[in-house]
Structure 1
């Protein structure tokens, strides 16, 4: 079976499964509408088209044949690059998927997710092998013969190994120098990531990075896909989630340490972005099911 015989959409797995898969063939221009991060490690492969991808604090132009490796809990958002139509597959691997492996194998498979640039550009031979594995995986999912889940898990593991070996041979892609505007926005993002617990105002950052308030607001959205206030709130909620998972601090203390100066605002933002209250999140052990970060993205308006 070739890729053109695969339906336009195929999804596999529930939120708590060790392996989940999403394939989508999209026509026209498309950008993710949802803020997005999750505890799973994400492997993204672009069969055709071109995408713009904001990950952590930088923007990457992804072309057909590229692999994108996104670390656990890393903020990311894909957007339109100006080129219509694309086909992509995403594999989500839970931390538990790797926890069962011997430490040497776990470190090997996780290396591309945690070191350097998230973008890997396989050579032609590696690309053909990756597409062979992925197309076979999708064919199994589409046809569902006996044992298809077992074969899907096997091929997903083989793809991880192929990716790790590709990374070890050549490392991440050397990207072109960012434009002065992109560099300023990346600097602003890094500043927010480091100072989320402090008051953060657009006026202050515009002075710090020598760029007008209106220009910073516009270019921040253009480069990252997030509004300034939206990104600050996401960063603070992510930290609050971490504190709720990893400490016994009171919810009020968590709110303050994450940078919220108003407890009511904290509660509203947390519920809006996480899909549940801080106390419910802690009670469930920090597991998001149908939150804003895990729902399939809808087309932008």
Structure 2
């Protein structure tokens, strides 16, 4: 799988084979029993070793599952998003712990493939159980509480990411976010780069351009109006950002997609 990133959480379990994965440039081994919790917008890639192949369960879900509702209050949000940069995004399970997780993942897969009553509730329940087991088994990687408290500023980045994801159509700036989350702008900028591998403004533009693409395809709004409806206060900024990310103008994008449809 070539280097890429996405706006959802990717949760995976290796069943067979061996390989390697890179998350924001940091490498780790992938073997049967490896569980990875990849947070949104992190650049990653993985590949099997030579003459081998990887068989995996992969579950993708929206970050809001962990940042809203009772699960966040129960501490699952803190356990998963509260990790500092020194803590790995993966665990290797063996023996009883691996068998327990494997059975749970198999139930999750069977439920996903079936068409039974209350399917969404069952999927949510099984996923939360799998995440809880991941957090429990990853507890051995947790640092002493005093060290975690000293690194608290690094943990706040995921709250900022979620806020931007929820409010990207509104006027946002690095300065306003820094004030809201009580972080120095320079520190927040550094955290975006280190954690997501992308500058804040590029992250914001990526969300807005994705929204603009949807409007270009599904509506007949003038392109200048699409720009403002997508959160841009300046049409030239919108046009430059669109061309940089899509390799074409907004008009060309609309015409291309309309012809294909």
Distance in 1 between the 2:198 and 2:4 partners?
14
TM-score normalised to structure 2 length: 0.56
Instruction: Give the secondary-structure state (helix, strand or coil) at the position aligned to 1:145.
Output: coil
Deviation at 1:249, TM superposition (A): 6.2
Q: Contact 2:15/2:32 (CA < 8 Å) preserved in 1?
A: yes
Aligned length: 175
- Which of 41, 46, 52 lines up with 2:20 in the alignment? 52
Residues 92-142 of structure 1 deviation map (CA, whole Å, 9 limit, x = unaligned): 231211122344332124346966122211232111111000111111223
Distance in 1 between the 2:238 and 2:243 partners?
14
Distance in 1 between the 2:197 and 2:235 partners?
17
1:67 equivalent in alignment to 2:35: yes
Residues 118-177 of structure 1 deviation map (CA, whole Å, 9 limit, x = unaligned): 2211232111111000111111223322223321211110000000111113459xxxxx
Query: What corresponds to 2:54 in structure 1?
Result: 86
Query: What corresponds to 1:164 in structure 2?
Result: 135
TM-score normalised to structure 1 length: 0.49
Distance in 2 between the 1:162 and 1:41 partners?
16
Deviation at 1:254, TM superposition (A): 8.3
Instruction: Give the secondary-structure state (helix, strand or coil) at the position aligned to 1:169.
Output: helix
Query: What corresponds to 2:8 in structure 1?
Result: 40
- Which of 241, 253, 257 lines up with 2:203 in the alignment? 241
Higher relative contact order at CA 8 Å, sep ≥6: structure 1 or structure 2?
A: 1
Deviation at 1:243, TM superposition (A): 4.9
Q: Which runs of 5+ in 1 are unaligned?
A: 1-31, 173-233, 256-262, 281-301
Instruction: Give the secondary-structure state (helix, strand or coil) at the position aligned to 1:116.
Output: coil
Instruction: Give the secondary-structure state (helix, strand or coil) at the position aligned to 2:4.
Output: coil
Residues 215-259 of structure 1 deviation map (CA, whole Å, 9 limit, x = unaligned): xxxxxxxxxxxxxxxxxxx9668851325659866475689xxxx
Deviation at 1:36, TM superposition (A): 1.8
Distance in 2 between the 1:47 and 1:153 partners?
22
Higher helix share: 2
Distance 1:237-1:267 versus aligned 2 partners, 3 A rule: farther
Distance in 2 between the 1:111 and 1:237 partners?
21
Q: CA RMSD in A?
A: 3.5
- Which of 270, 276, 279 lines up with 2:245 in the alignment? 270
Distance in 2 between the 1:151 and 1:276 partners?
44
Distance in 2 between the 1:48 and 1:238 partners?
38
Query: What corresponds to 2:176 in structure 1?
Result: none
Distance 1:114-1:148 versus aligned 2 partners, 3 A rule: farther
Instruction: Give the secondary-structure state (helix, strand or coil) at the position aligned to 2:5.
Output: coil
Q: Which runs of 4+ in 1 moved over 6 A?
A: none
Distance 1:71-1:115 versus aligned 2 partners, 3 A rule: farther
Q: Which runs of 5+ in 2 are unaligned?
A: 144-195, 209-230, 254-261
Q: How does 1:47-196 map to 2 (within 5 A)?
A: 47-98=15-66, 99-100=68-69, 101-103=71-73, 104-111=75-82, 116-171=87-142
Q: Contact 2:19/2:29 (CA < 8 Å) preserved in 1?
A: yes
